[in-house]
Chains A and B, each alone.
Chain A
Amino acid sequence: DAKTTQPPSMDCAEGRAANLPCNHSTISGNEYVYWYRQIHSQGPQYIIHGLKNNETNEMASLIITEDRKSSTLILPHATLRDTAVYYCIVSGNTDKLIFGTGTRLQVFP
């Protein structure tokens, strides 16, 4: 699976959009980009995934660059409850998803 690079931490004001970047320059053609988050020792929560097209669901939007070497997870209106560690995972084999260290997002009032 391709390696991902995420900033260790980010801040965001409540009500603003949170844009979480992820670099995956060695991604291969059959690998998907997955995003999960973990709120303080709770079980990780699936957010969204995509291959090459931008994706949107009720939680977030995923923007993947045309060359697929990077992506951005967008939380359109961050709330305090969105404070969590966000994991970007690139994988072509979902038999085992390997979590990295993620980005710790702090949403402040």
Chain B
Amino acid sequence: DSGVTQTPKHLITATGQRVTLRCSPRSGDLSVYWYQQSLDQGLQFLIHYYNGEERAKGNILERFSAQQFPDLHSELNLSSLELGDSALYFCASSVDRGNYGYTFGSGTRLTVV
């Protein structure tokens, strides 16, 4: 157990739907990062929040949004889902801005049918 908790572990939904993925960082960690891993794209950086503020953004689709709440947990919202959004979504956390490494959760496997 890495200390980073992601829920749900598995999610199956239909095209056009909206889902929310949740991440609780390790105790004391202020940064949360989201990554998407699909078979043909590898690990893709989506977004980074530090203590509630957005710090960096990757190639995150406009249909996707994220936020970090005052208790430091984060949610990734995916809307108007397409088949191509099927992937593993990982959350990671770090105590600061990641200079000493990220700790990843076990991921949420999203299947869009």
Residues of A within 8 A of B (CB): 32, 34, 36, 38, 41-46, 49, 87, 93-101
Q: Which of A32, A97, A99 has the most CB of B within 10 A?
A: A97
Q: Does B107 contact A (CB under 8 A)?
A: yes
Q: Does B92 contact A (CB under 8 A)?
A: yes
Complex CA distance for A97 and B42, rounded to whole angstroms = 13
Complex CA distance for A66 and B85, rounded to whole angstroms = 43
Complex CA distance for A43 and B100, rounded to whole angstroms = 17
A43 touches B107 (CB 8 A): yes
Complex CA distance for A100 and B43, rounded to whole angstroms = 8
A46 touches B102 (CB 8 A): yes
Considering only CB atoms, which chain B residue lies closest to A96 in the complex?
B56
B48 touches A95 (CB 8 A): yes
Name the interface residues of B42-69: CB closer than 8 Å to any CB of A.
Answer: 42-43, 45, 48, 50, 55-56, 58
Considering only CB atoms, which chain B residue lies closest to A98 in the complex?
B45
Say how far A73's CB is from chain B's closest CB, in angstroms: 14
